[in-house]
Structure 1
Amino acid sequence: MDLLAALTARRLLAIVRGGNPDAALRTVLALAEEGIDLIEISLSGADALAVIARARQELGPDRPLGAGTVLTGADAQAAHRAGATFVVTPGLGDGVDTAHRLGLPVLAGVLTPTEIIAAQARGAVALKLFPAGESGGAGYLKALRGPFPRTPFVPVGGVDAVSARAYLAAGATAVGVGSPLVGDAADGGSLIALRERARAFRAAVPETTR
């Protein structure tokens, strides 16, 4: 898949990390039904690889589906086997290199200029600025845009509907959102509330194309 094109167009990446595999799957499917096309299932969630495999079966072969918290080469290989079409990492571990060799586009976690340069050299398609909320927010992203004006950044960590707008205004390609969007749905919480939050986020982060 063309991950950069998808991030540029959709601008919202939902991050699902659940303690209940069945609830996590229901969360993924509800988000997809609400029109959120980019979804990452974190490998730190319960039975995450099985959730990815089940979600792939439900969504069909063509829908983008990411595996998050990919730390090692084994993580990347397992995600690929489960049906992930892209991977997301919190940093620059072996998972980045293995995913690249497997042909999976990588959204690689970075925080500093040195890490940005290293991630680009290792073939990352876009860069997950993490933890965005703890590193200076939109102001920090704006400062990074000086030396890296064409780098596609995706802030993750503490992003809510209000800060999402600020990050996009500061030049983010997209934003990644976990608990402010998913809430407790992936642990068995209300899907009705999840759908309401999904609609609010889609209104706050309008797509550039459909």
Structure 2
Amino acid sequence: MSFTDRLRRERVIAIVRGSDPKAAERTVHTLREEGVGLIEVSLTTPDAADVIARCVREAGGALIGAGTVLTADEARAVQQAGAAFVVTPALAEGSVTAHALGLPVVAGALTPTEVVRAVAEGATAVKLFPASVGGPAYLRSLREPLPHVPFVPTGGVDAETARAYLEAGALAVGVGSPIAGDAPHGGDLDALRTRCRAFLAAVAGHREGA
């Protein structure tokens, strides 16, 4: 299954951005246990490459990716850690290098010019970020001239807006604190499970084969 097909199946990339490496790792495992198949560990998390490497070893059927990859060195480091995909907040050297290394890239872009450039530089999908600036209506406007671009809106996406983005034509959505909450900082894992189940239920009608 291609990464694009996996995005189409899962519809959600859960973003883990924490202050505690062990808590971030526990968050990844909990998300995986609850059925989230695409999980991004942000490099703003302390020791993120090590967290990714440990999570990859116990990933089961989930794909563990790296987020906030900005530089070529970071792209090489997360490849060595075993990341299955790379996510960037903007067009940067990290996305170009990750693509050259053969990793699927969800490259951050906001304007039409940035979107076109992201695709030209080999992005598998475009992370529309911060999506909250324009909301689902902005996504619809972008898709009119760019109907074949696979968009992954990220930034301020909760369960309700996730449905709206998917209905507006998004391939998937990226979701951070609305699903992870305080768990990556050492917070309640039971509350994480509850949020995760509610979120997956909200997008269930858009998931393929899950």
**Both proteins in one fold, TM over 0.5:** yes
Percent pairwise identity? 59
Q: Deviations over 1:91-136 (max 9, x none)?
A: 1111111111111010000000000110111010000000001x21
Counterpart mapping for 1:140-179 below 5 A: 140-179=138-177
CA distance in 2, matches of 1:139, 1:67: 28
Aligned partner of 1:67 in structure 2 is 66
Return the match for 1:204 from 189, 202, 205: 202
Deviation at 1:209? 1.4
- Who is 2:100 aligned against? 101
Please state if 1:35 is matched with 2:35. Answer: yes
Report the Cα offset of residue 57 of structure 1: 1.6
State the alpha-carbon separation in 2 of the partners of residues 130 and 120 from structure 1: 15
* Aligned-pair CA distance for 1:75: 0.6
SS of aligned partner of 1:39: strand
Q: Quote the Cα distance in structure 2 between the aligned partners of 1:2 and 1:104.
A: 11
Which residue number in structure 2 is paired with residue 83 of structure 1? 82
Write out per-residue CA displacement over residues 33-60 of structure 1, whole angstroms, 9 at most, x where no aligned residue. Answer: 0000000000011111111011012225
* One-letter code aligned to 1:43: L
Q: Report the Cα distance in structure 1 between the residues aligned to 2:172 and 2:129, rounded to whole angstroms.
A: 13
CA distance in 2 between counterparts of 1:9 and 1:44 reads 27
For the residue of structure 1 that corresponds to 2:58, the secondary structure is: helix
Deviations 1:148-173 (A, max 9, x none): 11111000000001111111111111
| Structure 2 residue identity aligned to 1:15 | I
| Distance in 1 separating the partners of 2:128 and 2:38 | 17
The unaligned stretches of length 5 or more in structure 2 are none
Structure 2 CA distance, aligned partners of 1:19 and 1:2?
32
The 8 Å contact of residues 66 and 83 in structure 2, kept in 1 or not, is answered as yes
Q: Which residue of 1 aligns with 2:52?
A: 52
Q: Normalising by structure 1, what TM-score? A: 0.97
Residue among 169, 178, 181 paired with 2:179: 181
- AA in 1 matched with 2:17: R
* TM-score for the superposition, normalised by structure 2: 0.97
Unaligned 5+ segments in structure 1 are none
- Number of corresponding residues: 208
Partner of 1:10: 10
Which residue identity is paired with 1:140? Y
